Amino acid sequence: MTPVSWPRVLLSGMIAGIVVNSSEYLLDSFVFVKQWEEAIKTLNKPYFSLTTIIASLQILGFAAGIITLRRYAAKSGSKKLLPTALFGWVLTYVPLCVALIALKLIPIPLAAIVAASGLVELAGGASLGCWIYEEIRAAAVRAASGPELQEYVSD
């Protein structure tokens, strides 16, 4: 097992989270806005709003990105990308959706949309985050190789 570089994990995980959060925002604010509004109306709770739900999902997006990249860093290798994204999804989106259904906060079809879109978003975010993680690792190796080897490493 390779040592985990936490600064690289946090940076690449946050970038993966930005990808997840951007797509979550677009989906929840424009594509599935009617479903969310109906779910909020059925709750009949004044403190629930679409804004608070989107903000909560943004926190989840960053957590999912960091958890996924932490797993990738521990099991480093490009062949581990999809299982790593699935791992992050199981630890973040699945418990969220199960809890939302169990507490009867959102209907099952909306939870299924959240779960399915979360898997796709996390896979996309993880691919970018893993690429950035590897690029930072390669840059660190190039920097550590010394100036006399720079011409051979950079090609």
**The two three-digit tokens of residue 106, written as one number:** 């959102």
Instruction: Compute the average pLDDT of residues 14-35.
Output: 92
Domains of the chain: 6-153 (1.10.1760)
| DSSP SS3 for 123 | helix
Residue with tokens 């960053």: 62
Task: Look at residue 154 in the predicted model and tell me its pLDDT.
Answer: 46
**Around Cβ 69, how many Cβ atoms within 10 Å?**
29
The residues near 139 (Cβ < 8 Å, ≥ 6 apart) are: none
- What is the predicted pLDDT for the residue at 115? 94
pLDDT in tens, 72-119: 998 866 568 888 899 999 999 999 999 999 988 889 999 999 999 999
Task: Please compute the mean of the pLDDT values over residues 122-129 and round it to a whole number.
Answer: 94
Contact 14, 66 (CB under 8 A): yes
Contact in structure between 86 and 119 (CB atoms under 8 Å): yes
The model carries a pTM of: 0.84
